[in-house]
Amino acid sequence: MSTFKWLTVLPFIGLLVGVYFANRVTPFVFGLPFLMFWCILWVVLTSIIMAIIYKTDPANKEGDGS
Amino acid sequence: MNAALVIIFLFLLLSLFLGIQAKRGKDMNLEQWAVAGRGFGTIFVFILMAGEIYTTFTFLGGSGWAYGKGGATFYILAYGCLAYVMSYFMLPKIWRYAKEQRLVSQSDFFVSKYQSPALGVLVSLVGVVAMVPYFILQLKGLGIIVSEASYGSISPTAAIWISVIAVTAYVIISGIHGSAWTAVLKDTMILLIVIFLGIYLPIHYYGGFQPMFEAIEKAKPGFLALADAGMSPTWFASTVLLTALGFYMWPHTFGSIYSAETEKVFRKNAIFLPLYQLILVFVFFVGFAAILQVPGLTGSDGDLALLRLSIKTFDPWFVGIIGAAGVLTALVPGSMILMSAATLLANNVFKVFQPNASEERITKTAKYLVPVVALIALYFTFQGGATIVALLLMGYNLVTQLFPALVFSLMKKNFVTKAGAFAGIVAGVATVAAITISETSVGRLFPFLPQAIQDINVGIIALIVNAVVLTAVSAATRGLSAAPQASEKAM
């Protein structure tokens, strides 16, 4: 069990709980309504989090040729 | 025939050609036909899985919801994200077990884990029933595209018939190999077109993104966020959770897990698939751009928003290209769904009742079932008037009921018995059916509850009923089932 796996709870908190606080049209961020920006932000953060987990997960060190 | 239709039909022919090419020189037994001999690498699995996500649902449904529902649409961005997080941990386990046991379908997994062919029959039936609305929405999408692109000369009914025949022929001819190749063509096209439309339309009509959103906010204040009641933050959170759990429970999605070559494929894909979701943002831009440009589409007509705006903006030949991409987004997932439904019915229902049937006969049965399932879906397509997204959510409510029994079976020590799994799924599905048929909501059942709780997606209630029954029946039958759990030695 990698110590970084706890990071996976963050997207759940960000999207399921965060929506209660991010549910607003303004301020516009990068020209987007705030709620839309918030969801996009979490998509990007999720990808980064999964990359960190992938890199630190010993299961991926075994060279299985993929 | 106008230029738009000619282009759409050319692409239809091209995809049929690709399907036939893919089949050539390959011996097609059921395992080949359905899971491509487990030989797909990261890129193909990525495309297949991404391909299932980018269906008519995204193309027309996503823009239609942005047009009709505003902020609620963003749930589509969120659920995939959470599903991919779970996929990192769940999919390699499923794949490993499926490979060891040489499983072909989703039901095989339950049969093997719980040592119960009866459970396999139940899971197959739930899967097939859930796939019907999912297939209907692809047909609806195809019908919309063809009839809109014909500028009214082909009726939606005729368009749906043409689509059904195309999808059925396609599946019978090529199986999963065809899907993978057409998926490559489809993904490339949809990517280019959606990004182009999503950038061009807001700039063309409003001069930029922020001006567009400001104009919408001025015309419909609060439309770009969630409502206080109905599609509220509680609706958002519960729907995102439900659909994220159900994401990989679709028989065809589950089946494409088997087609991977190694388990590492899934972990790698969990990094990139979330980013791929961002294509949706451009789909939403199109829907938002349509709000003030082609107003007045209500109810399920919202699904027309993207095409109506395209027709208003572009020449017929370009509408044809857009339509062709749309046809492919329905054809690929449509064919996957049809194939999975037929394979499930042949392998996990027919075979249980005809245990002596030869492998060859089952493969044949699967192929014969393809047009049967297509015709059943066709019947329902002509019945209902639900929007594309509403149809998808209905299917999700059903298919998510398989999640508890599945996830417990992946654990090292599974406390769930076959009776428990069976009872849980039945209770969950019955709850969904009761709620859907009576067209009720949590708020109508319990009007005294606070609004925030009333907006919970009914699928979540069914899931809770499911989990409670599953646990209770498992506890009651624990001592009775002497059969060793297959999961204990396998994990």
B467-477 confidence digits (pLDDT tens):
999 888 888 88
pLDDT tens, position by position, B364-388: 787 788 888 888 878 777 766 566 6
Residue B482 pLDDT? 45
Contacts of B203 in chain A (CB under 8 A): none
Evaluate if residue B483 carries a pLDDT over 70. no
Provide the CA B183 distance to its chain's centre, in angstroms: 15
pLDDT at A45: 92
Instruction: Answer whether residue B174 shows pLDDT above 80.
Output: no
Q: Is the pLDDT of residue B193 over 70?
A: yes
Q: Collect all residues of chain B within an 8 Å Cβ-Cβ radius of residue A12.
A: 82, 85
Best mutation target, B40, B46, B53, B81, to test chain A (most A CBs within 10 A): B81
pLDDT digits (tens, 9 = 90+) for B53-96: 667 777 888 888 889 888 888 888 888 889 998 888 888 888 88
Q: Which residues of A touch B (CB under 8 A)?
A: 8, 11-12, 15-17, 19-20, 23-26, 28, 31-36, 39-40, 42-44, 46-47, 49-51, 53-54, 57, 59-60, 64-66
Q: Which of B172-186, B210-224, B257-271 has the highest mean pLDDT?
A: B210-224
In this prediction, the residues of chain A whose per-residue pLDDT falls under 50 are 64-66
pLDDT score of B45: 64
B221 interaction partners in chain A (CB closer than 8 Å): 25
Per-residue pLDDT at B99 exceeds 80: yes
Q: How far is A16 from chain B (nearest CA, A)?
A: 5
Give the whole-number percent of chain B exceeding pLDDT 70: 83
Q: Which residues on chain B are in Cβ contact (under 8 Å) with A59? A: 92, 267
φ and ψ at B414, to 5 degrees? -95, 115
CB contact under 8 A, B281 and A36: yes
What is the percent of chain B with per-residue pLDDT over 90, rounded to a whole number? 3
| Band of pLDDT at residue B491, cut at 50, 70 and 90 | very low
Model confidence pLDDT, tens digit, residues B205-254: 988 888 888 888 888 888 888 877 778 888 888 889 988 898 888 887 78
The separation between CA A60 and the C-alpha centre of its own chain, rounded to angstroms, equals 20
- Closest-CA distance of chain A to residue B153, Å: 38
Task: State which residue of chain B sits closest to A19, comparing Cα positions.
Answer: B233
- Chain B, 207 to 236: residues with Cβ < 8 Å from chain A are 208-210, 213-214, 217, 221-226, 233, 236
**Which pLDDT band holds residue B199 (cuts at 50, 70, 90)?**
very high
* Averaged pLDDT, B296-305: 80
Q: How far is B306 from chain A (nearest CA, A)?
A: 19
> Is pLDDT above 80 for B318?
yes
Of B440 and B11, the structure prediction assigns the larger pLDDT to: B11
What pLDDT shows up at residue B432? 82
B275 close to A (CB below 8 A): yes
Contact yes or no for B257/B38 (Cβ under 8 A) = no
Lookup result for tokens 């003030």: B292
- Summarize the confidence of residues B24-37 as an average pLDDT: 51
pLDDT surpasses 60 at B485:
no
8 Å CB contact of A25 and B42: no
Taking an 8 Å cut-off on Cβ atoms, the answer to whether A39 and B224 are in contact is no
Nearest to B454 by CA among B475, B440, B436, B434: B440
Summary mean pLDDT of chain B: 79
Give the gap in angstroms from C-alpha A13 to the nearest C-alpha of chain B.
Answer: 10
State yes or no: pLDDT of B32 exceeds 70.
Answer: no
Smallest Cβ distance to A23: which of B92, B225, B265? B225
Pick from B79, B264, B285 the residue to mutate for testing the A interface (most A CBs within 10 Å).
B264
B275 CB neighbours in chain A (<8 A) are 43-44, 47
| pLDDT greater at residue A58 or residue B317 | B317
Secondary structure in 3-state letters for chain B:
CCHHHHHHHHHHHHHHHHHHHHHCCCCCCHHHHHHHHHCECHHHHHHHHHHHHCCHHHHHHHHHHHHHHHHHHHHHHHHHHHHHHHHHHHHHHHHHHHHHCCCCCHHHHHHHHHCCHHHHHHHHHHHHHHHHHHHHHHHHHHHHHHHHHCCCCCCHHHHHHHHHHHHHHHHHHHHHHHHHHHHHHHHHHHHHHHHHHHHHHHHHHHCCHHHHHHHHHHHCCCCCCCCCCCCCHHHHHHHHHHHHHHHHHCHHHHHHHHCECCCHHHHHHHHHHHHHCCHHHHHHHHHHHHHHHCCCCCHHHHHHHHHHHHHHHCCHHHHHHHHHHHHHHHHHHHHHHHHHHHHHHHHHHHHHHCCCCCHHHHHHHHHHHHHHHHHHHHHHHCCCCCCHHHHHHHHHHHHHHHHHHHHHHCCCCCCCCHHHHHHHHHHHHHHHHHHHHCCCCHHHHCCCCCHHHHCCCHHHHHHHHHHHHHHHHHHHHCCCCCCCCHHHHHC
Residue B198 has pLDDT above 70, yes or no: yes
Which chain B residue has its CA at the smallest distance from A21's CA? B233
**Chain A residues whose beta carbon lies within 8 Å of the beta carbon of residue B241:** 16
A contact test, residue of B44, B82, B269 with most A CBs within 10 A: B82
Mutation target for A interface from B44, B224, B265, B284: give the one with most A CBs within 10 A.
B224
pLDDT at B177: 60
Q: How confident is the model at residue B486 (pLDDT cuts 50, 70, 90)?
A: very low
Q: Give residue-wise pLDDT tens across range B321-356.
A: 888 888 888 877 788 788 878 888 887 888 778 777
pLDDT at A41: 92
Rounded Cα gap, residues B368 and B378, in angstroms? 16
Q: Provide the ipTM.
A: 0.88
Residue B484 has pLDDT above 70, yes or no: no
**Do residues A18 and A9 make contact, with C-beta atoms less than 8 angstroms apart?**
no
In chain B, the domains with their CATH numbers are: 3-388 (1.20.1730.10)
Contact A57 B270 (CB under 8 A): no
Chain A touched by B91 (CB under 8 Å): no
- Phi (first) and psi of residue A32, to 5 degrees: -105, 150
